[in-house]
Amino acid sequence: MKSKLMTTAACVAAIILGQAAFAGTAAQDSSAPAAASSAASHADSVSADRPASVDEDRPQPAPRYSTAMKNAGVAGTVVVMVQVGADGKAKSFHVMMSSGSTALDDEAIRTVKAWSYKPAIKQGAPADGYVQIPITFNK
């Protein structure tokens, strides 16, 4: 349990630091005086900044939710934190919020491992980032 708590804390810290880096970069860059042409190119690069995400242009496999689990009343939402590399490949997966069922948590991880991702974009270039994915299993 202590190890899981430490992993969760590390992921939350990574998200907070990543968001702070985005905010800090935008604030730092926008407060500096610049010529009109460099201001326009800066606006283009800032508007290109985005966090990592699921690749919505590709079909993503749905989680398997067995009839037996539905009939047993096993349901819930699992939130998975995925670290996405600059190459768009997932590097790590962590359950940030458990459904309370190990079977559902494992299925959520199995599902998001099969998905495709887009890397974060920082200052116009691909970068490592994180994306949180909720997977809901309804009765």
With a cut of 90, say whether residue 105 has pLDDT above it. Answer: yes
Does residue 124 come out as left (phi exceeding 0), alpha (psi in the -120 to 50 range) or beta? Answer: left
With a cut of 80, say whether residue 62 has pLDDT above it. Answer: yes
| Chain centre to alpha carbon of residue 95 | 12
- pTM of the prediction? 0.67
With a cut of 60, say whether residue 74 has pLDDT above it. Answer: yes
